[in-house]
Amino acid sequence: MTHSHTGRTGPVGSVYDSGPTSVQNPLPTASPVETAKILAEVELPTISKGPIIRRPRMVAAVENLGLEARAVTRMQTIAEKYGRGPIMLALPGRKMSMVLDPDHVHRILEESPEPFATAETLKRHALKHFEPQVALISHGPERARRREVNEQLLDHNHPIHRMAQQFMPAVREEAQALLEQVDTAGGSLDYSTYFKAWFRLVNRVVLGDSYRDDEQLIELMETQRARGNWAFFRPVDTDARDEIHARIDQAVSRAEPGSIAAFMNEMGTSANSETSREEDVQQIPQWLFAFDPAGMASYRGLALLASHQDRLDAARFQVDEEAQADTPMLPLLRATVLESLRLWATTPMILRETTREVEFEHGVMPEGTTVLIFAPFFHRDEKNLDFAHRFSPEVWDHERTRDEWPLVPFSAGPGLCPGRHLVLLLTSNFIAQIVGQRSIDLLSHDLEPGRLPALLNNFSLKFHLSQR
């Protein structure tokens, strides 16, 4: 029977306590042919782009071949056939499930880490290459302790970080240095130039001003993340991993004023600190990792603004209006970054793993099942979202609720990215310095406002900046 993918409401089931087991009442399973199509059209392009660090050539290939749009279409076809799901994939020796229903997205993310653990097996094997004790792949009391450290240091619940005023000089100085470099190059801005400027800012904010030009740490992180792309297929380079941790530990010890490393050092001396110094230090590689896709999102945000003059004018108005603020909020530029993440998800596959059997309306999911939430399917589903392929920053005018369609650029629930506000603070203010001082023309792509592409290759985006 074919079920509609529209207007699905009602109870979303409960954690399995009694009654039929996953053997007696299994979830529907995709046929071997359907499973092969999901693997080939949804999972393979996602993996080939690089789940931990992007592979530029593969990103270009996926963009040029239109594979991202094909992945969304495949998921729509599966959802039309199976309805609410979830469905199991026909994989010998491995339990894996695809989520098809928006209510189930909310449920799974809200019921993390029990019974939907964030410490999914493939994720653990990928991240152990540079951060084996990070909260994201921890469980139980260890996860709770490490998560609390992240939330405190990143000021999880506050749109304006408590150290924001100390960050703003670095934002202005690095943006100005970038603009001067672009002017010297005749107004040309490419992603490599932008990325280097962005990470000079990131290094200063996270580690301290003296780490501004620490390209060795960036290279170490990139090498280990590239190994992480292969998860358990590559052995861990423990020497390189230890070097990353040692360099970060040194930054925490130096505690340079105005850096989060100094905040960590101060917090570590508190009697209330329950995590070890080693555990604390291993949270920082995750931040450096996450600031990479944040740079992608902000750079793509420039492309959105350059292609929507009315939005660019409105953003400049807000920049001018908040010019005297110590820490500008810049809601439209924050929404621009969120829209960049919705339109071109930097975490396209959200992973969870069941810690016990879990009951859904149409069956029971086995313990130890990898649960896949393909974010672009929900973000770009034109059958349910009239703004699916448009730049629509207004959808972020309020905190989205459990009753709304799941737009999850930073995940959601207890696994919500603890650094989301810091990312939006830094990206919006960095962009503000660029658009506030320069005219911006997109040279490399012709973005049609009413039908934005399913993937935008940040590595090939090129702009021309000129004096306003």
Residue positions forming the annotated binding site for heme:
417
Q: Identify the three-state secondary structure at position 351.
A: strand
Closest CA to 416 of 109, 6, 13, 95: 109
d(CA 221, CA 243): 10
Exposure on the CB side of residue 199, measured as CA atoms within 13 A: 21
Contact 71, 374 (CB under 8 A): yes
Contact 457, 59 (CB under 8 A): yes
Q: Is 55 exposed, middle or buried (0-12, 13-18, 19+ CB in 10 A)?
A: middle
d(CA 59, CA 55): 6
Other CB atoms within a 10 A radius of the CB of residue 404 amount to 12
CA dihedral 36, 406, 59, 42 (to 10 degrees): 0
- Known binding residues: 417
Contacts for 198 with CB less than 8 Å, ≥ 6 apart: 174, 291, 295, 298, 299, 430
Beta bridge partners of 96: 370
Rg (CA), the chain: 22
Exposure on the CB side of residue 366, measured as CA atoms within 13 A: 17
**What does the angle CA 292 – CA 296 – CA 298 come to, to the nearest 5 degrees?**
115
Kindly state the tokens that stand for 85: 């799901």
Contact 46, 71 (CB under 8 A): yes
